[in-house]
Amino acid sequence: MNLEKAGFFTKAVHAGEKPCPLTGSHATPIYQTSTFVLKRNVEQPPTTEWRTAYIYTRAGNPTHTVLEEKMAILEGGEAALATASGMAAISTVIFTLLKEGDQIISSDTLYGSTYTLFKEIMPKLGVKTVFVDATNPANMKNALTNKTKMIFIETPANPTMDIVDIRAVSEIANESDAKVVVDNTFMTPYYQRPMELGADAVVYSATKYLSGHGDTLGGIVVGSRNFVMEVRRTLALTGGVTNPFNAWLIVRGLKTLALRMDKHSENAMAVAKFLSEHSKVKKVLYPGLPSHPQHELAKKQMRDFGGILAFEIKGGMKEAYTMMEKVKLCRCAVSLGDTATLIEHPATMTHRMIPQEERLQLGITDGLIRLSIGIEDSNDIIVDLDQALK
């Protein structure tokens, strides 16, 4: 069957996988090996002829290949690369695209570690990042110079759920040689396809929805064959590779991605509606609510609205912490995209590295609480949040 033409659910189950030709094993084997025995007598001078497809796991491994082929097909990209974590995916793309003197333009609301990587680590290598409010693409256009080699956007943004118009930003970048890279972690390829909207590459924290069960770290880069080949070379030289067991867990998780995403979204919408009517809640940030300032754009570029939402509790830090200490079903933890509902306080947890003044300007207030809605029964999540708010 031509999987390219199959539906998302079919691709998620079958892409990249076939029974093992040696044993008939139906499930993908975990090739737990660091090295591969080469085919020719090693006394012969090394030529490319005696290489197998695999040499050393830092440069590639058959279990990683299954994950990469599945992700390339799900995303509709030519190729994909698996990495040790989302941060490894982002940093390897940066090391591939940028050199001293180049600039990044980035949306200003990002996962805290990405923000800090751009703000603190990259300047040491002579790469400056210009942060802009990317909810208005004109700000991207105004910041563009001939030094800009990468435009980075995270949409929806962690944790404020700001939406960036991927098509508009890609059109702006067309006038330059900057590559548009989208962090699609919150949406997954099931809900948002940045490359179909004009982006050059997509990065993921596979730690989240792609693996889906909160039991592994991983990252993915998807793009053109040539781009992924270059990033693969950087990865082999910098070492942020995944390992066969984690790659296998992500392969397994991907098979149920669409089922899980639909349940996460359905539950998140129910929780968002409940919170938006609660007397202790000042505002709810969820792109599925008509009150979200970019609800129309979200409807246009996303198939559904996903499982993450944030809300501002009346009061501040004290009220937020009091509430988070009272939850019983929800777990107080960073990370997201787990089957269980996770609750966290961005100002003191995921985004604590951002200086207070900048954090407040971005809307990451002391009363802001982020929820990663799980796949439990929505009513049980609501009952738990309700008793904690009381």
Kindly list the residues in this chain that would bind ligand LCS in the complex (CB under 6 A).
Answer: 85-87, 111, 113-114, 154, 158, 183, 185, 205, 207, 217, 219, 334-336, 350
Q: Nearest approach, Cβ of 87 to ligand LCS (angstroms)?
A: 4
Q: Strands, E, within 137-257: which ranges?
A: 148-154, 179-183, 201-205, 219-223
Nearest residue (beta carbon) to ligand LCS: 86
Q: Shortest approach of ligand LCS to residue 186 CB, angstroms?
A: 6
Number of H helices, E strands in the chain: 14, 12
In degrees, rounded to 5, the angle at the alpha carbon of residue 130 between the alpha carbons of residues 125 and 132 is: 155
CB of 21 to ligand LCS, least distance (A): 33
Residue 47 Cβ vs ligand LCS, minimum distance, rounded to whole Å: 38
DSSP at 321: H
Nearest residue (CB) to ligand LCS, 218 versus 244: 218
List active site positions: 58, 111, 183, 208
Region of 60 (left: φ > 0; alpha: ψ -120 to 50; beta: rest) is: left
Q: Tell me the sheet residues that pair with 202.
A: 182, 222
Query: Which of 353, 280, 355 has its CA nearest to residue 322?
Result: 280
Contact of 144 with 178, CB cutoff 8 Å: yes
Cβ proximity to ligand LCS: between 16 and 346 the closer is: 346
In this structure, what token pair is assigned to residue 292? 């979200």
Distance CA 99, CA 13 (A): 39
Instruction: Specify burial of residue 226 (Cβ count, 10 A radius: 0-12, 13-18, 19+).
Output: exposed
Of 112 and 137, which has the nearer Cβ to ligand LCS? 112
Reply yes or no: is the peptide bond before residue 45 cis, omega within 30 of 0: no
**Closest distance of CB 146 from ligand LCS, Å:** 28
Question: How many CB atoms are closer than 10 A to CB 138?
Answer: 12
Q: Which is nearer to ligand LCS, 183 or 366 (CB)?
A: 183
